[in-house]
Amino acid sequence: MFGLSKADTRLFLIVIGLTLFAPFILNPFPEGSELAQFNAGYPDLMQRFLIFGIFAIGFNILFGLTGYLSFGHAAFLGVGSYAGVWMFKLLGMNVLPAILLSMLVAGLFSVLVGYISLRRSGIYFSILTLAFAQMSFSLAYSVLTPITGGETGLQLSANDPRIFGQSITDAGTIPVPSLFGLEMRDSFQLDVGAWLFTFNAGYYLCAVFMVLAFYLSIRIFRSPFGMMLRAVKSNQQRMTYTGLNPKPYTLAAFVISGMYAGLAGGLMVAMDPLAGAERMFWTASGEVVLMAILGGVGTLIGPVLGAGFIKYMENIVSKINDNILHQWFSFLPDGLEDVVVAIIYPFIGKGWHLTLGIMFMLVVIFLPGGLVEGGQRIGGWIGRRFGKGGSSAEAAAKPDAKSSPAE
């Protein structure tokens, strides 16, 4: 089905199901309950799950298949964002041309960066990409202010020409991004008892691109091109001895990865038409590295899981404060309650990075295959515990299993 194997088709259908029913899945707790603060089913966060999932998938095509670790991938995210906003300013508020231009500009920029950076490998390649990203950040932040908006970022204005659209609406406001008249902020809410589910147009546009991006990544992973990229990662010198030049393959992977980042940047501005230099900063590049490693480098679904996990912590766990903790532990004696809150508080709220760092360290030490390996180990344990799967479940739990793990 879809030109995929049975295992890949099953995984692909699972991803489609998760994205389609995410408004239900991410709102497990009823509105008004104390646990409702852990719901993540609101449009802005769901969009971020998908956009950064696309970003991580693209990064994984480069890092997971070729082993080339880029520390400057956020440069393509930022370039794509700027290109998308300029398309809104000059052409119109239809999101499709903006997204396509974002991918194109990011792809062209990645050709330049990749052509120079891929002359080196290992840590030297990583440093070169980091240097390009920081140069891009500096140019966007100060030197190219007329193009990028500098410190305040590139924003829409009532004076923008917008050749094929309105510069200003009849109500006197700046038009919003739309898809042939369907505004990205349009939402439909469904009340089911104590639950409130929101279905947002912008989210489902991101979902379509996410599903397409995931499908393309599967085809790349299973193609002869993907095998050549694995050969680059396995033993590039031996590949050269056989008469094959690895550089065109690595450059192609780099450009594809950059276009994924450009797509993510274009979707960002399609949801919120604003582009800033901070999207190109080195911390943004480091974040996508964490997403890939935390989820499982070289797997298909791992980077998406890693992106969702980090964005959940950033937007949900970071909002838990000491007042909420006191409510949770109010059943304890006053003195003990204060001690428990004092112990837990440094790991949540503004300290959520500390929790993320500890979890990342534990994953690297005990689960080199990331969250995917953790899921495989749990599945293998369940199979052995209930006598189903036996040795096959055991084999699937191994990161280097040849039987196409639950990527």
pLDDT at 181: 85
Judged by average pLDDT, the poorest of 45-59, 217-231, 301-315, 339-353 is 339-353
Position 186 in a domain:
yes
Position 309 in a domain:
no
Position 213 in a domain:
yes
Q: What is the CATH number of the domain that holds 206?
A: 1.10.3470
Which tens digits make up the pLDDT trace of 168-196? 888 888 899 999 889 999 999 998 888 98
| Residues spanned by the domain of 207 | 6-281
Q: Does residue 144 register a pLDDT over 70?
A: yes
Q: Which residues pair with 182 in a beta bridge?
A: 179
Q: Does residue 396 register a pLDDT over 50?
A: no
Position 378 in a domain:
no
- Percent of the chain topping pLDDT 70: 95
- Of 227, 260, 219, the C-alpha closest to 246 is 227
Judged by average pLDDT, the poorest of 163-172, 216-225, 243-252, 390-399 is 390-399
Read off the pLDDT of each residue in 367-380 and give the average, rounded to a whole number. 88
With H, G, I as helix, E, B as strand and everything else as coil, classify residue 321: coil
Q: Does residue 165 register a pLDDT over 70?
A: yes
- Of 117, 38, 26, the C-alpha closest to 75 is 117
Is there a contact between 61 and 307 (Cβ–Cβ < 8 Å)?
no
Position 322 in a domain:
no
Instruction: Name the percent of the chain in helix, strand, coil, to the closest 5.
Output: 70, 5, 25
**pLDDT tier, 388 (very low <50, low <70, confident <90, very high otherwise):** low
Q: Does residue 397 register a pLDDT over 80?
A: no
How buried is residue 347: exposed, middle or buried, by Cβ count under 10 Å (0-12/13-18/19+)? middle
Position 345 in a domain:
no
Position 314 in a domain:
no
Nearest-5° Cα angle at 153, 150 to 154: 105
Position 124 in a domain:
yes
The structural domain count of the chain equals 1
